[in-house]
Amino acid sequence: MAIAILIAALAGATLALFFQPRWWFPEAISAHARAYDAHFLVTLCVIGCIFVFAQGLLAWVIFRYRDRGQAVTGSDGSSALEIAWTSATAVIFLGLALAGQGIWAGVHLEGSDPRALKVEVLAKQFAWSYRYAGADGAFGRVDIKQIDDAGGNSFGIDAKDPRGKDDLTAAVLRVPVGRPVELQLKSRDVIHNFFVRELRLKQDVVPGMTIPLRFTATKVGTYEVPCSELCGLGHHQMRSSLVVMTEDDYAAWLAEAQQKVVLP
Amino acid sequence: MFSTDHKVIGKQYIGLALFSVFLGMLLSLVMRFHLVHPDTKVRLFQMLWPEGAPGGQMTPELYLSLMTMHGTIMVFFVLTTAPQSGFGNYFLPLQIGAHDMAFPVLNMLSFWTTALSLVTLLLAFLVEGGAPLSGWTAYPPLSGLGKITGPGQGLGQDLWILSIAMFCVASLMGAINIIVTVIELRAPGMGYFDMPLTCWGWFVTALISLFAFAVLLPGGVLLLLDRVAGTSFFIPGGLIVNDQVQGRSGGSPLLFQHLFWFFGHPEVYIAILPGMGVISTVLSVFSGKKVFGYKAMAVAMLAIGGLGFVVWGHHMFISGMSPYSSIAFSVLTMAVGVPSAVKTFNWLATLWGGRLRFTAAMHYALGFVSLFITGGITGLVLGQPGLDIYFHDTYFVVAHFHLIMGVAAVFAIWAALHYWFPKMYGRFLNERLGKIHFFLTFVGVYAVFVPLHFAGFVGNPRRYPDFKEYEFLKSVTGLHMGVTHAAYFLAAVQLIFLFNYFWSQRRGAVAPGNPWGATTREWTDD
């Protein structure tokens, strides 16, 4: 009896939390992020209904059939019911699975955009660095022996490769608004994870692999990038930023940064 | 001590799990404290971990090692041992009319191997560098390169792997024992579909264990070889760790994840299936009805066991594996939700039309159903790779798996203890204390774990020793403070259970032979 009320109360309190505005997704800053939020809302409505229905039924059955000396009446099996709820849940669950494939496909299954700004992302314990191809649009060869973090050559850009002369490295990821971006994620040591909440994107960065991640940010601003795969004792401090700039600001930054490139 | 009697071994397993669950809980309290008071110096920490908390100030590596040990202890030594090895050992032979397990000596051996495994794990706290910090999932290369990747990644990580390997061997021995017992020692005339659902739970769990631990074991051995023999199963070429070039090549970090989760996902069902059997029994006995849809329930367990082996990839949606395999794993994952939902409907139908007696065991069983719904339903979010792409490795996942795998399974253990205590000790657990403990705990677990979903909405990454570095995490300070206080409350009320458990063994009300009016053999035989 008391437990029926408690189940109803706790289910109600759980539900009520969804109507507070404080702890929720941050603003969405890409078409993908907005599609994500829309599909999440659909999923939330479906599971919310199931949650209310199931907890409500549980509380009601407990209340209704509490021991009042009544005779036991219920049956102990029904093929029709089994078939009904098995197929109903199968339709709902698999329907959700299929409905959600669109946002996944949008991130991972669409090919590379030839106009995309390509940036290499290098993760190591416990810092991020970014490499831009420079004016020639081509990344220089890298050589593990030439890596020099203190000297500003974290990527190990090979001094002998002319394509690398204008390669630009930075500690913050700057991209122009509205332009497709393609990141090439690499790690030097252990597994890290590149996560931008506002883009609704998260991708492990695995040593030995180069993993692409594509997005087009549609809002100017600075967004935090927290490492989201346990990478050691500095994991919680492995912070970086994504700065989305207007085309003009980006061009100005690029020109200025390009001048400072120290040829290795 | 080295008894081969299945009842003694069952109690030994339950004792080991009881010790482990309180240890694991204490570790979680220390972690919860540190999360909300990251700069507070505590003399006790310095006394316990002089290296990890110099001057009482907890280091990030100490926090991560507590987290690793908490997860490992809870998953292996509580959730795998108590429901399956503890209650399974004690009651499976009784319920199928066997006089003991098929291989009593093997049974004794598997318990003592488990105990040795636990000791080995705890030794990691005492060695140089302390316990490993790579989490209970121990992903290489972090776990595969030795102490260059961090303190605790030296001898501590070696001991961790040894412990897990021993645990695998023990679990394989236990699984073989249960499988053979069910196949060979059922009473004459008892068919598979005459067994109580509890026996189905233990049987299917043993089958899962056989296939799952048989994969984790070689995974652990290969990882150990990478660490001590210079092999490169999981270590790719071109690594530079701590400015030192690692002369390895050809290994794959993702290979370990596949091996680990091929075990790791079925492990969830190892923890929960025996509990599902117990819940079916308890709901049926205290409703005064047979289990609704017995055959559907048994088949659903088999379906969960089978499908459970083809969904491991949902732990790896963002790992860098092929995005096409994510789609396949996603559909299969949503499919494994179906038999779980079917079980829930059958439990509700078992209650329907009954006459419900609200014993303490019944309270825990009803609480289990509620928690199973709350914890399970978020699987429909995480099972979609498109949505997991935000929630992966956030507190949303922490909330999900604690509710479904941790808390629900532990509620099933409490239901089982209250239900079978009279058989085990000839006395009742105190019913009133049991109900008080239930109500406080039920409120406590909702208060701890429901809010954590919302930290997940904010994008709060898990496995962070503190949240000071990030602007966006300032918004969850209050939430974490609330959760930490709820955790203190939840831990405190466990003393009621502890008291009840030990007091009732000696002073509890004496129980008659079949106190609940049940129909299964453990009450009606002998």
DSSP H/E element including B266: helix B253-287
The pLDDT value given to residue A264: 46
Decide if B374 and A14 are in contact by the 8 Å CB cutoff: yes
Under 8 Å between Cβ of B461 and B405:
no
The pLDDT value given to residue A205: 98
**Which residue among A69, A72, A201 sits closest to B353, beta carbon to beta carbon?**
A72
Question: Helices marked H in chain A — which ranges?
Answer: 2-17, 31-64, 79-99, 101-108, 247-260
Residue in chain B nearest A86 by alpha carbon: B342
Decide if B64 and A233 are in contact by the 8 Å CB cutoff: yes
Structure tokens at B265: 């996902």
Residue in chain A nearest B464 by alpha carbon: A236
The pLDDT value given to residue A86: 96
Decide if A232 and B458 are in contact by the 8 Å CB cutoff: no
The pLDDT value given to residue A263: 53
- Give the distance from residue B103's alpha carbon to the nearest chain A alpha carbon, in angstroms: 36
Contacts of B134 in chain A (CB under 8 A): 230
**Which residue among B133, B135, B141 sits closest to A189, beta carbon to beta carbon?**
B141
Contacts of B385 in chain A (CB under 8 A): 100, 104
Decide if A233 and B345 are in contact by the 8 Å CB cutoff: no
The dihedral through the CA atoms of B197, B198, B204, B208 has a sign that is: positive
Decide if A39 and B386 are in contact by the 8 Å CB cutoff: yes
- Give the distance from residue B389's alpha carbon to the nearest chain A alpha carbon, in angstroms: 5
- Alpha-carbon distance A11 to B4, whole Å? 46
Contacts of A71 in chain B (CB under 8 A): 355
- Give the distance from residue A214's alpha carbon to the nearest chain B alpha carbon, in angstroms: 13
Alpha-carbon distances of B371 from A54, B360, B367, B408, rounded to whole Å: 11, 16, 6, 6
What's this model's pTM, rounded to 2 decimal places?
Answer: 0.97
CA nearest to A209, candidates A229, A184, A243, A228: A184
**Which residue among A10, A58, A65 sits closest to B446, beta carbon to beta carbon?**
A10
Contacts of A207 in chain B (CB under 8 A): 141, 236, 238-239, 253
Residue in chain A nearest B438 by alpha carbon: A3
Q: Which of B67, B256, B457, B460 to mutate to test the interface with A (most CBs of A within 10 A)?
A: B457
- Give the distance from residue A34's alpha carbon to the nearest chain B alpha carbon, in angstroms: 12
Contacts of A68 in chain B (CB under 8 A): 355
Under 8 Å between Cβ of A65 and B353:
yes
Contacts of B358 in chain A (CB under 8 A): 1, 3, 66-67
CA nearest to A155, candidates A129, A137, A134: A129
Decide if B349 and A74 are in contact by the 8 Å CB cutoff: yes
- Alpha-carbon distance B140 to B233, whole Å? 10
**Which residue among B290, B326, B392 sits closest to A202, beta carbon to beta carbon?**
B392
CA nearest to B174, candidates B92, B261, B263, B268: B92
- pLDDT block averages, 10 residues each, chain A of length 264: 94 95 96 97 96 98 96 92 96 93 92 92 96 91 91 91 92 97 97 98 97 97 98 97 98 91 58
**Which residue among A50, A65, A203 sits closest to B318, beta carbon to beta carbon?**
A203
Q: SS3 for A159?
A: coil
**Which residue among B236, B242, B461 sits closest to A226, beta carbon to beta carbon?**
B461
Q: SS3 for B210?
A: helix
Under 8 Å between Cβ of A225 and A56:
no
- Give the distance from residue B113's alpha carbon to the nearest chain A alpha carbon, in angstroms: 30
Domain ranges of chain A: 2-65+80-108, 117-260
**Which residue among A7, A85, A236 sits closest to B465, beta carbon to beta carbon?**
A236
Domain B6-233+251-524 CATH superfamily: Cytochrome c oxidase-like, subunit I domain (1.20.210.10)
**Which residue among B383, B443, B446 sits closest to A97, beta carbon to beta carbon?**
B383
Residue identified by tokens 């919310």 is A48
Decide if A188 and B239 are in contact by the 8 Å CB cutoff: yes
CA nearest to B202, candidates B143, B269, B264, B138: B269
CB pairs under 8 A between A and B: 319
- pLDDT block averages, 10 residues each, chain B of length 526: 94 98 98 97 96 96 98 98 97 96 97 98 96 97 94 95 98 98 96 97 98 98 96 95 92 98 97 97 97 96 96 97 95 95 97 97 98 97 97 98 96 98 97 98 98 98 97 97 98 98 97 93 82
Contacts of A100 in chain B (CB under 8 A): 330, 384-387
Domain ranges of chain B: 6-233+251-524
Contacts of B333 in chain A (CB under 8 A): 97
What are residue A159's phi and psi, to 5 degrees?
-65, -20
Decide if B245 and A54 are in contact by the 8 Å CB cutoff: no
Decide if B454 and A40 are in contact by the 8 Å CB cutoff: no
Decide if A25 and B370 are in contact by the 8 Å CB cutoff: no
Decide if B141 and A201 are in contact by the 8 Å CB cutoff: no
Class of domain A117-260: mainly beta
Residue in chain B nearest A76 by alpha carbon: B292
Task: Calculate the dihedral angle through the C-alpha atoms of B131, B137, B142, B145, rounding to the nearest 10 degrees.
Answer: 70
